[in-house]
Structure 1
Amino acid sequence: MIETKKALLESLLDQAIVLANNTDSAQLVSFTKKIDEIDPLQFFEAAKDQGMNRTFWTSTADEFCLVGAGTVCHLIADENRFQETEKQWENLVSNALIHNPYQTPGTGLVALGGMRFDPKKDNTDLWKKFKNSEFRVPRLTLTKQKSAFYLTINTEVTKDDHTGQLAHQLRKTAGCFLGYTNSHPVAVRLKQKEEIAPEQWKGLVKQATDKINQNKAEKIVLAREMRLKLSKQPAITTVLKKLLTSQTNSYIFAFEHDDDCFVGATPERLVKLEQNQLLSTCLAGTAPRGKTTAEDKEISKTLLHDPKNRGEHDYVVQMIKNAIKHYCLDIQIPDKPVIYPLKNLQHLYTPVRATLKNGYSIFDIIKELHPTPALGGVPREASLTFIREYELLDRGWYGAPVGWLDSNQNGEFAVAIRSGLIQGDEASLFAGCGVVKDSDPEAEYEETLIKFAPMLSVLGG
């Protein structure tokens, strides 16, 4: 059962009822309390038992996790999605009644969500449940920050609500989550997998290199799809558990809409903001891991000195630097990259740190950074036009910003790669690679096979 100071919760609800009566509209209330340790995956599974759509986000390196259960309100934007989402969020926060005595990022009022890679690309039925831009404020949010745990209850209060009854119901609902224990269902088997038009995709790589060699672009990132048929509908909790175990140094995420769930393990941070301190990541240039320590070191050394991969990485470094310089002060970028190792792959990595100027928000940065050269290409508009016209899939939320923000001016967004869209007992997996003037279609195809591996492995492949 949630431990609250009864008078404090009731007092907050009393204030909300008065405000709702004065405005003749529902009043959003957010109440955060520090709680005992709880397994985030159990909390996630409890939400399913309660019939609630779920959201999940964790940064394994930071020992940080957010789990959202249900939805108290949505932020949905089609046109001018960055500005409109920011406007809706600021309005929501300024009018909400928030009790949060903690300064911990991810506590207080929190919204989790994401957006489409390219709103100008025609939508398909594959992504019909996912909006152009959508963020949820959950009814219940669990926050884990290292060894500390917090529970936030969000509710809309009307003038006709009764304080005692509402407080009792909120505590009862929270108790169902905090006292929940259940074993996670067994994993599924992969029955069939189909690579969507692989030879046609290789032809598209050749078409892109021709365009690049005609000096109409410098780099074009092309993605492709693998469709899976599973033995039954997988338990998302089990999928997340496997990703948490196998994909260290990654952001593990899930955004659920009924039987559709977009889930993945991405190594690529787009931007992190704590108050005004900004951190972005240049992660471009890819190689496999070695089978032995000696082989792994040799591959790393080759990657660090490979002209194609270093050039691809430098594109991203310069793009991020130029994108944020108007919004930031004291930009700090190391002179050369280091190796960022994952289970199946290793990447070139350069961190970018800066101080955000007053008057700007995390959405200003996202708007400038998305899509990075690692997901779109160079120059941006030329590569996006090619992708929009010729790519063989609707990327939907793949390759796009996903993440969270809170009412204390903290937030973090990652690039949704190494991901898949699970739909009942089927799933679509997505992988891409950067095409440059000397790209070999067969080599690029092999690279995408490696990038399919994280999601394929947790779905029985």
Structure 2
Amino acid sequence: MLHTQAPQINEIIEKAINQAQERNEPQLISVVDQIEPSDPFQFLDAGTSINNHCLFWRSAEEDFTMVAVGSAYKMYAENENRFKEIQVMWDNIHQSALTYDEFNEKGTGIVALGGFSFDSKQNDQVPWEAFPDSQMTIPAFLLTNKGPESYLTTNVLIFPEDHKQQIITQLSNHRETLLRAGHKTFELPVRTNSEEIDPSGWKKSIEQATEDIKKGLLDKVVLARELRISFNDPVQLAAVIEALAATQPNSYIFAFESEGEYFVGATPERLAKLDKQHLVSTCLAGTIRRGKTKEEDVQLGEELLYDPKNRQEHQFVVEMIRQAVEACCYNVQIPKAPVLYPLKNLQHLFTPVTAVLEKGYTLLDVIEKLHPTPALGGMPQKKSVDYIRTNEKLNRGWYAGPVGWFDMHNNGEFAVAIRSALIKSDRASLFAGCGVVEDSDPDAEYEETDVKLKPMLSVLGGC
């Protein structure tokens, strides 16, 4: 049951219309209500009946989930200054908004969710025609589950010519749909076909990369490949997200929509998290599979911890993140050695980074400095991205790009969009990559990408 009473909504909308008319420009309003505990997957499914622009985010380390439905405002930028341009748009829109929020919880009120492509200079659009270079959405409706508590944010962009009763009726109908959703059983898709895209050509690109590294053209590069699959029916978004949340408990679960297509995933890799001025980043690089027994699992973990190739790859990431964070933070803390980070199918080398953000900097400033890390691009950063653009066999689009959210309370979090798929109705493209150094073996790297595809394959028709 909503705690905010209907008469208050009437007054808020009337005030916003009057202000929009006085200024002759749109006025954003934001109202936060505490509601009864709400199932995020049922909310997501109900949301698709209102507006197919639905977004989802679940934290990897805390009981925190956001489900967004519709759009009050969208922010786009399409060049090398995209992070700064989004920040300027964000500052302008939220600073002039009328907000009604007695709770001030993170992830409530005016929140932007979305992401950025891996490479703003990539010209080839296939298969990412529906996704812009960057897109951050202030949703019309936002469910925020924080522990046992649920909040519903309603954001509306009011225009001078709007009619109060029409807006109130529409909001009431949509809220009723979202909050009175039943307990629907979701069905995962049945896979009918799969196609690996030029596996032999991809292995040859790994061979060529090792030769180029030996020649000194770069130190490391990450190369990705694509797997295309199809299904007997259009994919049910809520079914996939619910299954990912159940099977990947230590990962960030995300879904972002654009023009009827969905980019979804379960990524273990945080890029940066900001809680007020406290920043946390993650060095996650170096990968090996999980063992079938406890003894084998321990053995494989020890092998990963002491493997020179994986330790070198991990250290590349640590040093790059150190430099990026130190450029805009103080009190930077980094452990001397990595530990193991276990997932369902994989285990990684993991080093946390903590710091305090300097005043005058924002979370997007940090993301701009960090992206792409050597774990997703290579070393040196610019040379590796140029190399990927020229030599990789696919257009990454949002794969390996920063995805996440931020709010008006100086909180936010972005992850790296790996372990992911682009879903187009009854088809999907899955992506996986690996770090290439001078002694990389193409067959071994191919097997590593096979393992990295399993989290998404497990919910898209089985492995």
Report the TM-score, using the length of structure 1 for normalisation: 0.98
1:47-58 to structure 2, matched below 5 A, reads: 47-58=47-58
Q: Distance in 1 between matches of 2:376 and 2:85?
A: 24
Tell me if the contact between 1:111 and 1:136 (Cα under 8 Å) persists in the aligned partners. yes
Deviation, 1:103, is: 2.8
The answer for the alignment partner of 1:76 in structure 2 is 76
Q: Does 1:95 align with 2:96?
A: yes
Q: Which aligned pairs between 1:25-40 and structure 2 lie closer than 5 A? A: 25-40=25-40
- Counterparts of 2:103 and 2:334, CA distance in 1: 32
> What is the alpha-carbon distance in structure 1 between the residues aligned to residue 74 and residue 191 of structure 2?
35
In structure 2, distance between residues paired with 1:33 and 1:142: 10
Unmatched 5+ residue regions in structure 1?
none
In the alignment, is residue 246 of structure 1 matched against residue 257 of structure 2? Answer: no
Asked if 2 retains the 8 angstrom alpha-carbon contact of 1:123 and 1:396, the reply is: no
Question: Structure 2: which amino acid aligns with 1:289?
Answer: R
**Equivalent pair of 1:228/1:428 in contact (CA under 8 Å):** yes
1:451 aligns with 2:447: no
1:166 Cα deviation after fit: 3.2
Question: Following the alignment from structure 2 to structure 1, what is the Cα–Cα distance between the partners of residues 423 and 244?
Answer: 15
* Aligned match of 2:59: 59
Listed as ranges, the matches of 1:65-144 within 5 Å are 65-79=65-79, 80-144=81-145
Say whether residues 1:398 and 2:393 are aligned partners.
no
- Does residue 374 of structure 1 match 2:346? no
Deviation of 1:184 after TM superposition, in Å, equals: 3.5
TM-score normalised by L of structure 2:
0.97
Q: What is residue 206 of structure 2 aligned with on the other side?
A: 205
Aligned-pair distance for 1:211? Answer: 0.6
49-58 or 266-275, which deviates more: 49-58
- Distance in 1, Cα, partners of 2:237 & 2:296: 35
Alpha-carbon distance in structure 2 between the residues aligned to 1:54 and 1:100: 23
The residue identity in structure 2 corresponding to 1:57 is W
**1:455 alignment partner, SS class:** helix
Q: Is this contact kept in 1: 2:338–2:350, CA < 8 A?
A: yes
User: What is the CA–CA distance in structure 2 between the aligned matches of 1:39 and 1:459, rounded to whole Å?
Assistant: 22
Q: Is the Cα contact below 8 Å between 1:114 and 1:134 reproduced in 2?
A: yes
User: In structure 2, what is the Cα distance between the partners aligned to 1:37 and 1:318?
Assistant: 43
Q: In the TM superposition, what is the alpha-carbon distance from 1:163 to its structure 2 partner?
A: 4.1
Q: Give the aligned CA root-mean-square deviation in angstroms.
A: 1.3
Q: Is the counterpart of residue 230 in structure 1 residue 240 in structure 2?
A: no
Instruction: Report the 3-state secondary structure (helix = DSSP H, G, I; strand = E; otherwise coil) of the residue aligned with 1:255.
Output: strand
User: Contact 2:16–2:29 (CA<8 Å) still a contact in 1?
Assistant: yes
3-state SS of 1:438 partner: coil
Distance 1:8 1:39 in 2: 26
277-286 vs 299-308, greater mean Cα deviation: 299-308
Task: Give the C-alpha shift of residue 161 in structure 1.
Answer: 3.8
**Corresponding residue SS for 1:458:** coil
8 Å Cα contact 2:339-2:349 kept in structure 1: yes
Whole-Å separation in 1 of the counterparts to 2:332 and 2:296 = 36
* Structure 2 SS opposite 1:61: coil
Is 396-405 or 113-122 further displaced after alignment? 113-122
* DSSP 3-state at the match of 1:126: coil
In the other structure, the counterpart of 1:145 is: 146
Secondary structure in structure 1 of the residue aligned to 2:107? coil
Deviation at 1:164, TM superposition (A): 5.0
**SS of 1:322's equivalent?**
helix
Q: Which has the higher mean CA deviation after the structures are superposed, 97-106 or 212-221? A: 97-106
Equivalent residue letter for 1:216: L
CA distance in 2, matches of 1:390, 1:215: 16
Measured in 2, the distance between the counterparts of 1:196 and 1:325 equals 40
**CA–CA separation in structure 1 for the residues paired with 2:409 and 2:165:** 29
Q: What is residue 281 of structure 2 aligned with on the other side? A: 280
Deviation of 1:168 after TM superposition, in Å, equals 4.2
Query: How far did 1:175 drift?
Result: 1.7
Alignment of 1:159-308 (within 5 A): 159-163=160-164, 165-308=166-309
Aligned 1:308-457 pairs, distance under 5 A: 308-457=309-458
Match for 1:419: what amino acid?
S
Task: Report the Cα offset of residue 301 of structure 1.
Answer: 1.1
Deviation at 1:15, TM superposition (A): 2.4
CA distance in 2, matches of 1:52, 1:455: 22
Deviations 1:223-253 (A, max 9, x none): 0000102111110111111101111100000
How far does residue 206 in structure 1 lie from its aligned partner after superposition?
Answer: 0.5
Identity score, percent:
46
State the one-letter code of the partner of 1:81.
Answer: R
CA distance in 1, matches of 2:234, 2:39: 23
Q: CA separation in 1, counterparts of 2:266 and 2:181?
A: 26
Once the two structures are TM-superposed, the CA of residue 330 in structure 1 deviates from its matched residue by 0.4
Segment drifting more, 79-88 vs 100-109: 100-109
Q: Does the aligned pair in 2 maintain the 1:108–1:408 contact within 8 Å? A: no
Name the counterpart of 2:18: 18
1:24-45 Cα offsets, whole Å, 9 max, x none, are 1221101011111010001100
- Equivalent pair of 1:375/1:399 in contact (CA under 8 Å): yes
CA distance in 1, matches of 2:105, 2:353: 23
AA partner of residue 289 (structure 2): P
For 1:38 and 1:381, the matched residues in 2 are separated by 45
Dislocated runs of 4+, deviation >6 Å: none
Q: State how far apart, in whole Å, the 1-side matches of 2:461 and 2:365 are.
A: 40
